[in-house]
Structure 1
Amino acid sequence: MSKSTSQSSGEWLQSWDPENEATWDKPLAWRTLWVTTFALFLAFAAWFLPSALIPKLNPLGYSFTTSELYWMAAMPGLSAGLFRLVWMVLPPIMGTRKMVALTSLLLVFSTLGWGVRVQEPTAPYWELMVLAFLAGVGGGAFSGFMPSTSYFFPRSKQGTALGLQAGIGNFGVSAVQLLTPYLIGFSWLAFFGSSQTISMPGKEAQEVWYQNAAFIWIPLMVIAAILAWTMLKSVPIKANIRQQFDIFGNVDTWLMTLLYIMTFGTFAGLAAQFGLLMADLYGISNPDIVSGTGGEATVLVDGYAVPDVVKYVFLGPLVGAGARVLFAPLTDRTGGAVWTLVSGIGLIVSIAFTIPALTPDTTSAATLESGFNQFLWGMLAIFLFSGIGNASTFKQMPMIFEKRQAGGVIGWTAAIAAFGPFFFGIGVTTLGPVGFYAIGIAWAVMCVVITWVRYARKGAPKPS
Structure 2
Amino acid sequence: MSATETETAASSATVESAPPHLPRSGWIEHWTPENPDFWESYGKPVARRNLIFSILAEHLGFSVWLLWSVSAALLAKVGFNFTPQQLFWLVAVPNLVGSLLRLPYTFAVPKFGGRNWTVVSALLLVIPTMLFAFFVQRPDTPFWVFIAIAATAGFGGGNFASSMASINFFFPTRAKGTALGLNAAGGNAGVAVIQFFLPIIVGGAGAFGLVKASQSGIVLQRAGYLYAALAVLAAVCAYLFMNNLHAAYSKPREQMAVVKYKHTWVMAFLYIGTFGSFIGYSAAMPLLIKINFFRSPIPTASIGINFAYYAFLGALVGSIARPFGGWLADKYGGAKVTLGSFAAMIVGTLGVLLTLSKLDTVPAPDPAKIAAWTKDPSSFPGFPPAVVTAVNHNSDLFPWFLVCFLFVFAATGIGNGSAYRMIPAIWKVNAKKAGAAGSPARIAAEGKATKEASAVLGIVGAVGALGGFLIPITFSSPWIADPVAAVRSAFVIFTVFYVICLSVTWFVYLRPKSEMAAEHV
Same fold per superposition (TM over 0.5): yes
Q: Which residue of 2 aligns with 1:214?
A: 224
Alpha carbons of structure 1 residues 7 and 429: separation in structure 2 relative to 1, 3 Å: same
Q: Are residue 411 (structure 1) and residue 458 (structure 2) matched?
A: yes
Q: Distance in 2 between matches of 1:70 and 1:367?
A: 25
In 2 relative to 1, CA 66–13 (structure 1 residues): closer, same or farther, beyond 3 Å?
Answer: same
The alpha carbon displacement at 1:172 in A equals: 0.4
Q: Tell whether the 8 Å contact from 1:275 to 1:309 is kept in structure 2 after alignment.
A: yes
Higher mean C-alpha deviation, range 156-165 or range 206-215: 206-215
> In 1, are the aligned partners of 2:294 and 2:391 still within 8 Å (CA)?
no
Q: Does 1:12 align with 2:12?
A: no
TM score, norm. by length of structure 2: 0.79
> TM-score by structure 1 length?
0.89
CA shift, 1:443, in A, is 1.6
Do the aligned residues in 2 keep the contact of 1:102 with 1:225 (CA within 8 Å)?
A: yes
| Structure 2 counterpart of 1:368 | 394
Relative distance call for 1:205 and 1:12 in structure 2 (3 A) is closer
Deviation, 1:335, is: 2.1
1:350 is matched by which residue type in structure 2?
G
Secondary structure in 2 matching 1:244: helix
CA 1:351 to 1:100, structure 2 compared with 1: closer, same or farther past 3 Å? same
Does 2:171 correspond to 1:153? yes
Take 1:219 and 1:343, find their aligned partners in 2: how far apart are those partners?
A: 38
Q: Distance in 1 between matches of 2:56 and 2:215?
A: 37
Distance 2:310 2:282 in 1: 11
Letter in 1 for 2:228: I
Q: What is the distance in 2 between the residues matched to 1:356 and 1:5?
A: 60
Report 1:129-278 matches (<5 A). 129-185=147-203, 207-236=217-246, 237-278=248-289
CA displacement 1:92-128 (0-9 Å, x = unmatched): 1011011001111101111122122223423222222
Aligned to 2:408: 382
- Separation in structure 2 between the aligned mates of residue 271 and residue 204 of structure 1, nearest angstrom: 26
Residue 5 of structure 1 aligns to a residue in which SS? coil
Equivalent position SS for 2:410:
helix
Indicate the residue corresponding to 2:434 in structure 1. Answer: none
* C-alpha displacement of 1:446: 1.5
Contact 2:360–2:394 (8 Å) recurs in 1: yes
Q: Mapping of 1:31-430 within 5 angstroms?
A: 31-185=49-203, 207-236=217-246, 237-284=248-295, 292-295=297-300, 305-359=303-357, 360-362=359-361, 364-365=390-391, 367-401=393-427, 402-430=449-477
Q: Structure 1 residues 318 and 9 mapped into 2: Cα distance closer, same or farther (>3 Å)?
A: closer
Cα distance between partner residues in 2 of 1:409 and 1:358: 38
Post-superposition Cα deviations, 1:294-352, rounded to whole Å, max 9, x if no partner, equal 33x5x7xxxxx411111111010001001113333232222212210110000010011
In the alignment, what sits opposite 1:197?
Answer: none
Q: Distance in 1 between matches of 2:326 and 2:310?
A: 26
Which structure's residues are more often helix, by fraction?
A: 2
Code of the residue aligned with 2:299 in structure 1: it is G
Query: Does the CA-based 8 Å contact 2:304-2:391 persist in structure 1?
Result: no
Counterpart code for 1:16 = W
Pair 1:390–1:9, CA change in 2 (3 A): closer
The one-letter code matched in structure 2 to 1:29 is A
* Pair 1:10–1:226, CA change in 2 (3 A): closer
Give 5+ residue unaligned stretches, structure 1.
Answer: 187-202, 285-289, 300-304
The letter of the residue matching 1:117 is F
Q: One-letter code of the match for 1:262?
A: G
Whichever residue aligns with residue 415 of structure 1, its letter is A
Aligned residue for 2:217, secondary structure, equals strand
Q: 2:494 aligns with which of 440, 455, 463?
A: 440
Q: Which has the larger radius of gyration?
A: 2
Assess, with a 3 A threshold, how the Cα gap between structure 1 residues 357 and 409 changes in structure 2: closer, same or farther: same
Does the residue aligned with 1:12 lie in a helix, a strand or coil? Answer: strand
Is the contact between residue 179 and residue 213 of structure 1 (CA under 8 Å) also seen in structure 2? no
Distance in 1 of aligned mates of 2:348 and 2:128: 35
SS at match of 2:103: helix
Measure the CA separation in 1 of the matches of 2:24 and 2:488.
58
Structure 2 residue runs without a partner (length 5+) = 1-14, 205-212, 362-388, 428-448, 480-485
Q: Which moved more, 1:373-382 or 1:5-14?
A: 5-14
Secondary structure (helix, strand or coil) at the match of 1:234 reads strand
Residue by residue over 1:161-212, the C-alpha shift from the partner in whole angstroms, topping out at 9 and shown as x without a partner, is 00000001111000011011221239xxxxxxxxxxxxxxxx9975232222
Residues 365 and 74 of structure 1: CA distance in aligned 2, closer, same or farther (over 3 Å): closer
Q: Deviations over 1:68-90 (max 9, x none)?
A: 11111111011101111211211
**Structure 2 counterpart of 1:227, which letter?**
C
SS of 1:230's equivalent?
Answer: helix
- Matched positions, count: 435
